[in-house]
Chains A and B, each alone.
Chain A
């Protein structure tokens, strides 16, 4: 009995300490991928991965490894997994994708349907459901990879930081894999994804050695609209901001609007000078969506409550006066309302797809009626009337009150 116990203890201890050795993969055997691109090449899938080059050190200017801190590897296959395994015959390390921050999908692949190609990204335990998804606007995924016009030397960090900056400027869409899949499954809410676009940049420093990479920067402004998993179009930055407002995904950013011309005694509500635009910094925002049925017609309703701080005032207005501050609030609200109305109208007329999620609200409010119209909700949405109501509270004015240009009355 005593020997049996000792035997069992030894086996248990060995088991605990050695089981991990079975699948052990040392760091020097892995190619750590940070960004993954998926494209369509004929009937095949082309996978591009940005892999960290551990031999690169910044201390000696990268002299140990050739090139930059990352390398790019590609593989093709009939599906994503085959493309992954194709890489191992060209690249000496096995791709390790647990650190993938971003998945970029080429426009061609997105147009032909993303949903059927993302199965592997959820089935494989190494993949992270929290990776951000972006559509390469007007390009292949590999065409936008490798560009880093920021201070980050690793392009993945550059893209990741751009996504992080969305909370400062919500003209872009931050959507990760799991959120995208949830939208895909939701009835009454078409999928949307962020976009990434390669843009040429004006040359500032003529002394900088010209390379292809340095001529470009990346922009993530806008968003991509999907119909049943296939890309159908894009929204611009302002429409994307409106979309973020309706989906209650605003964490910050600014609202720019025509400065009320109260000080000049103009009868018009807003200044005729279009250059006189002021900005409010969003502190927080709360959106409440509703759907009503009026005389048999569906009416979409959005109410937004926004708290902000004056960011910039261009124009002759004394915001230290209560009535002028109220005018600023009104102007800010009106600007948001117009932006949202423009976005809804555009989506209704151009795409006819409910990307805002009003269908979900309809389902919650009228569950029985939803059963009858859920199959053609997008048609109902595209013909629906809408109401937008924004209430702005400016709670801070910054370090100064009246604009610098205006002299204070005695």
Chain B
């Protein structure tokens, strides 16, 4: 990754936009804070409390990213852990990114089928989305970042617009009583649960060598964390105020339902269509990113250029998503899926980076001398 030319590098602003929208898309789709303890009026506080936990959980990867800023996550895993263990870790992260890609695609198809195209077969919706993402991924990371620079501000502006338009539906009493029905333990358990799901740190760890100024990694992380969590908390509060806590727990796509209630005067309605457009735009960027970095991980493991893997990986994802989606809904079966993703996230964000960090401290001197 040392040989990434200056013209292929991306700016701090572009990466902040990408990481922000990746995280916001997760919150926009799931609102997972409504289904984890304490799942009451304090859920926005849980989101807020999760910020220090995210920083804590991401710090091993962030530290290693700063130490090896000319390498991707897989690159420094190889250097620190050695060839065999490095390859195993690389395979794990490839699978992790691939599962993320599949999950994103599955949810995208599920929302599109639920909200716009109920009779369109899964393979059609999934294929069309994947073709778009393949095209974007083929363009490389630089082009993806440029595309994000144009589309992500639109997505974010739309979210703010919807939140402002929902003002008439807000019942601020839904936030009361504050911190009375939840214990300190519940709030922290919820915050840890949210914090450990910040899987975008793995994407950032893959992006590091592409940065124009690699020393900006910490700045990028903190900025994107603050922006994404700020927007996420606004989303949580808006949905909570508008729909009430108990109903939010029943809904598969809370922010979609929130936008279905929006109206400007008596006649201008149907903001949900506008939301779906911006949501698709954001998710296409995110799926393209996951597809790109899955293939980049494969490039590092197998040693062939990543573009060779884009179509095969997409076809495998398509086949799997058709097999899964035509048997079972992804979002309705949240409990088992969330548990599975939680375990994967714990391993990817915390356990492996901690092991690598410990190994780095033990092998620091030999790595400096270039023996790794």
Contacts and interface: CB of A to CB of B under 8 A. Distances in A.
A22 B117 contact: yes
B120 A129 contact: no
Pick the 3 closest A-B CB pairs, nearest first: A367-B180, A185-B246, A15-B128
Interface string B118-136: 1110001101100110110
Contacts of B245: 185
Interface string A167-187: 000000000001001100110
B261 A178 contact: yes
Contacts of B261: 129-130, 178
B362 interface: no
Contacts of B257: 129
A16 B131 CA distance: 11
B260 A129 contact: yes
Contact of B180 (A8, A22, A130, A368): A368
Contacts of B177: 363-365, 367
Given A19-B117, A23-B119, A367-B177, A182 B244 contact: yes
A9 B135 CA distance: 8
**Interface SS majority for chain A:** helix
B128 A185 contact: no
Nearest to B272: A125
A177 to B, nearest CB: 10
Given A5-B135, A23-B119, 7 more contacts: A8-B138, A19-B120, A23-B117, A125-B114, A178-B247, A186-B246, A367-B177
Contacts of A178: 243, 247, 261
Nearest to A185: B246
B132 A12 contact: yes
B132 A125 contact: no
A360 interface: yes
B218 interface: no
Contact of A182 (B131, B135, B243): B243
A129 B244 CA distance: 14
Interface in B237-271: 243-247, 257, 260-261, 263, 269
A127 to B, nearest CB: 10
B-side interface mostly: helix
A178 B269 CA distance: 16
20 contacts: A5-B138, A12-B132, A15-B127, A15-B128, A15-B132, A19-B117, A19-B120, A23-B117, A23-B120, A125-B118, A130-B263, A178-B247, A178-B261, A181-B247, A186-B246, A363-B177, A364-B176, A364-B177, A365-B177, A368-B180
B247 A12 contact: no
Contacts of A23: 116-120
B371 interface: no
Contacts of B138: 5, 8
Contact of B134 (A8, A125, A365): A8
A22 B30 CA distance: 27
A207 interface: no
A394 B113 CA distance: 56
A128 interface: yes
A11 interface: yes
A363 B125 CA distance: 47
Contacts of B131: 8, 11-12, 15
Interface string B222-237: 0000000000000000
Contact of A19 (B114, B128, B243): B128
